[in-house]
Chains A and B, each alone.
Chain A
Amino acid sequence: MKSLTNGLTIEKLNGHCAIQDQGRDHQQHLGFSGSGAADLYAFYSANKLLSNSLNCAALEVMMGQIQLKANNTCTFAITGADCFAQINGLDIKHWQVHTLYKGDCLTLKQPKNNIYTYIAIAGGINSTPWLDSQSQTYTEQKLAFGHPALKVGSDIPVTHLATGSTIKSQQAGQTTNAQLPESFYQHPLLTLRFMPSPLWHKMTTQQQRFFLQQTFSISPNSNRMGYRLANKNPLTQLSKPMTVLESNKLSKPVCYGAIQLPAFNSPLILMKERQTIGGYPNIGTVMQTDLYRLSQMRPGEQVKFITTTIAQAQQQLATFNARFQ
């Protein structure tokens, strides 16, 4: 038996929080961003801990600093950035399942590492979908489609499982050894494996070597739409000839992970909230499993690039997906 309740209320919020599922990649032909959870590893993990279906919408909290109050009993899993979560002031284990009872408060502090924390609810969040997805896109929020933007006072509707869940949850303050999947993430230097584009193959060996030798740091103006990379050596010696090479090119659809090289700017990696069509020279695409890792990295942290093949990237993604089946 299922019934809808306003399971949680946002009491405090000092950052961004949105409802995310896998996104709406199938609506890009209308101009809508693919959107969806930035870190699918943490997102899927949270749903899997609850035996939810993998695409159940969850809360994606950016940089913690949120307080949620339970209006009813609510079982949840918390994954992603560790925000030193507490229930009613008692520490709870990260990457675990817990239960909130009516009136309980779940508080997240600012994380020391990573960016996004996922709070999945047993049975899922029951927000208003838009074009077959519950994902909220920051840049499209002014269009007022789907569920309204979350803010202090927002109620989060959950599908309440009335028959009592069989999921084992931890008591607040209880100390069992959580299996923290730190091995998935790489800090502070991540090597991004990318599939080269035809433009990459038009570059000289010298140009290619130059690009692969660089260590980039993630620039502060990175967000869910794209990650901008800064570099000590200006990349204009590379991006200017690429712009000339591509100057006759018309705007084309762009995919998740595309590495763009604007002429006088630093490289930009397109992330979940990318636009659907773009016109900058594109030297390749970062493989998706590395993009989940990248999405959790902060400005100032560093990345390098190495080439891979479509076959290897598909293999990695298939293996990744199989872990959650």
Chain B
Amino acid sequence: MNSYNIDITAVSENAVLLEWPEVICEMQHQHILLCKQQILAQYSDKIIDVIASYNSLMVYYHFEQLPLSSFISGLSKITQMGQGFQTVASAENALLSPVIIDIPVCYHPSLGIDIEEVARQTNCTIAQVIKLHSDKVYNAFALGFTPGFCYLATLAKKLHLSRRENPRIAVPAGAVAIAEQQTAVYPTNSPGGWHIIGQTPIAMYQASSHEFEPTVSVGQQVRFVPISLDDYHNMAASR
């Protein structure tokens, strides 16, 4: 693995931001998740939370229990250690979920309300858009925006479109959408500016009174499986 510069910056009284190079890269993201694991293991109860994104980790910590200078040098060691791993591949395999999560999607234009427009803008047929979107296995790079909203990448280059000029006030739960290099499923009804190309009948999280379990977690892999409108309605009805 090439060595690269990782910037470590204290951004507030109790937060340190670690930044990797500005690329969406599965190998690099595996290193980020490895570092996250190490930080949690090494500092456990002094950590409030660690949040991963495409090329960064935000570490919230109890600053009164952990002096900043020693914390930063500790973080620096953790990031170097990961980079130096000869067996980085095996460390990554340990992190990678071997299971690919299949998400059924109905791409019918009555549900994928932007798919015709996406096809037009990308000079594809609808069938090509569906194939390009469902042929790939995506990596889950970040959870955020709304609870359970998982940023998946990397979308086929042919489908890269900037966000809609007029974001929708309401996007339905289960909407499968694309924007730039990313794709995602809206877990709940929410506003949204991405292009909606389909709809999944499955829930994107399970919640009990004490737990919230997203269907897709950061670091996992996802594949979209096309289904018919009839299948969609049957699955949605049996939910």
Contacts and interface: CB of A to CB of B under 8 A. Distances in A.
Given A26-B48, A32-B147, A251 B214 contact: no
A255 interface: yes
B209 A256 contact: no
Given A31-B143, A31-B144, A250 B55 contact: yes
B207 A30 contact: no
Contact of A30 (B22, B54, B143, B188): B143
Interface string B131-156: 00000000000111111110100000
A288 interface: yes
Contact of A275 (B10, B57, B63, B145): B145
B13 A142 contact: no
A310 B17 contact: no
A321 B63 CA distance: 12
A313 B148 contact: no
A313 B14 CA distance: 10
Chain A residues touching B, majority SS: mixed
Nearest to A286: B12
Contacts of A212: none
A287 B13 contact: yes
Contacts of A32: 147, 212
Interface in B1-16: 7, 9-15
Interface string B12-33: 1111010100101000000000
B203 interface: no
A276 B144 CA distance: 6
B17 A253 contact: yes
A231 B17 CA distance: 30
B178 interface: no
A31 B26 CA distance: 21
B212 A30 contact: yes
B231 interface: no
A143 interface: yes
B13 A314 contact: yes
B52 interface: yes
Nearest to B144: A277
B189 interface: yes
A148 to B, nearest CB: 13
A157 B112 CA distance: 45
Contacts of B19: 252
A241 to B, nearest CB: 18
Contacts of B17: 252-253
A26 B53 contact: no
B155 to A, nearest CB: 14
B64 A318 contact: yes
Nearest to A140: B147
Given A249-B22, A255-B58, A314-B68, A143 B13 contact: no
B56 interface: yes
B161 to A, nearest CB: 17
B51 interface: yes
A255 B12 CA distance: 8
Given A27-B49, A142-B189, A252-B56, A317 B13 contact: yes
Contact of A29 (B49, B145, B146, B189): B49
Nearest to B182: A251
Contact of B12 (A28, A251, A256): A256
B50 interface: yes
Nearest to A246: B22
A219 B189 CA distance: 28
Contact of A313 (B13, B52, B151): B13
Interface string B202-223: 0000010111101000100000
A131 interface: yes
Contact of B9 (A128, A198, A258, A318): A198
Interface in A113-157: 128, 130-131, 140, 142-143, 145
Given A248-B22, A253-B58, A275 B144 contact: yes
A25 B19 CA distance: 21
B58 A30 contact: no
A181 to B, nearest CB: 22
B140 to A, nearest CB: 12
B144 to A, nearest CB: 3
Contacts of B147: 30-32, 140, 143
A31 B149 contact: yes
B13 A310 contact: yes
8 contacts: A27-B212, A31-B143, A195-B10, A251-B142, A251-B144, A257-B12, A277-B142, A310-B10
Given A254-B58, A287-B12, A288-B12, 8 more contacts: A29-B218, A197-B9, A249-B22, A250-B53, A251-B144, A253-B51, A253-B56, A314-B68
Interface pairs A-B: 6 shortest CB-CB: A253-B58, A277-B144, A253-B51, A250-B54, A31-B147, A285-B12
